[in-house]
Amino acid sequence: MINKKRLVNTFKDLVKIDSISRDEKKVADYIIKKLKKLKLKYKIDNSNKKTGSNTGNIIVYKNYNSKQGVYLLSSHMDTVVPGINIKPITKKKYITSAGNTILGADDKSGLAIIIELLETLVEKKIPHLNIEVAITTCEEIGLLGAKFLDYKLLKSKSGIVLDSTSPDRLVIKGPSSDYFSIEVNGIEAHSGINPEKGISSIKVAAEIINKINIGRLSKGTTLNIGKIDGGSAINIVPGKTTILSEIRSHDESKIKKILDKIKKDILKIEHKYKKTNKKFSIKFKKNRIYDSINISKNEQVVKRILKASKKINYLTSTVETGGGADANFFVKNGIKTVNLGTGMREFHTINEKLILDEFFTSAEIIYNFFTDV
């Protein structure tokens, strides 16, 4: 029942609107214009006071049959860089960009499906489940829109995020993730005159890194050292170096065990260099990015999606992922949320594509999910 041509046009309209994280207002304005035309109720929360975006999250309400309960549908407005002046190019089987930017299928493919669903339901006056839509900001910079969303505006207890690769994948399990930094405060000295008086923070940082296992540590557990920043000039023994890292795992006890070992190794290294100069120090800081999700296959939202997929003779399977999405924060706030693919590939790169058959399939699954009453 979806209008494929309109769905594609909506997607192309959306990706042409620049919306780097914290600059989503123009996309929000486009969506709000659509909502007003459809005469749908919506609210904009005050999350921007904490996210730093130039707009809040958009919450949309589309009720029909109150006896069937309420389900959440969600996608995010922001994109990564390079995402300015995107020019979508339609091929036979997919849509891509001109090659010097991302495409923005992450996550404007999800937004387009949501808009098409709402337009179809309003136009056709088709009976459907009650719908709440959460269109978020700042997903790409730490899921901030979902983190600071005003959950008092939602009644849903279950939901779907449209933000993944193929619709044959229904993500029901995802890891927790912690960000951690290690700040090495060495001792500066002139590298040519008195290097003996210095303690190189870069050298110490290398010692620390050598103690840390990175990559896939075990099934469901990964650690990455993503950035190192240190030193001020080539003729100065570097005084400060910072190591920025993240760890993800489906098992909280593994995160704790690995980070405890890192902290123990750091203390040993710090103690060694403090013998030379008491001003030397190493600081370890950790912040939770998001909690894990683990949705049972027996949850109604999962059963309904699998049923909707089967209705169009398509096989969607439940899977676990190593990534995070807005679903992590919805789950944390009591909404049992799964993540369905939309057909995006090679996202966050200039080779990004949207596979049209999968894009249409995802839209049909969502349509069947909400109209099976």
Distance CA 222, CA 69 (A): 38
Distance CA 201, CA 99 (A): 40
The torsion region of residue 39 among left (phi > 0), alpha (psi -120 to 50) and beta comes to left
Residue 235: DSSP 8-state: T
Tokens 């998001």 belong to which residue? 290
Q: Who contacts 51 (Cβ-Cβ below 8 Å, separation ≥6)?
A: 22, 137, 138, 144, 145, 148
Tokens representing residue 77 in the block:
């407005």
Identify whether the C-beta of residue 241 lies closer than 8 Å to the C-beta of residue 205.
Answer: yes
Amino acid at site 352: E
Half-sphere exposure of 140 (CA within 13 A, CB side): 22
Identify whether the C-beta of residue 339 lies closer than 8 Å to the C-beta of residue 170.
Answer: yes
**Residue numbers annotated as active site:** 78, 139
Half-sphere exposure of 202 (CA within 13 A, CB side): 11
Identify whether the C-beta of residue 13 lies closer than 8 Å to the C-beta of residue 29.
Answer: no
Pairing, β 158-162 against β 336-340:
parallel
Distance CA 18, CA 15 (A): 7
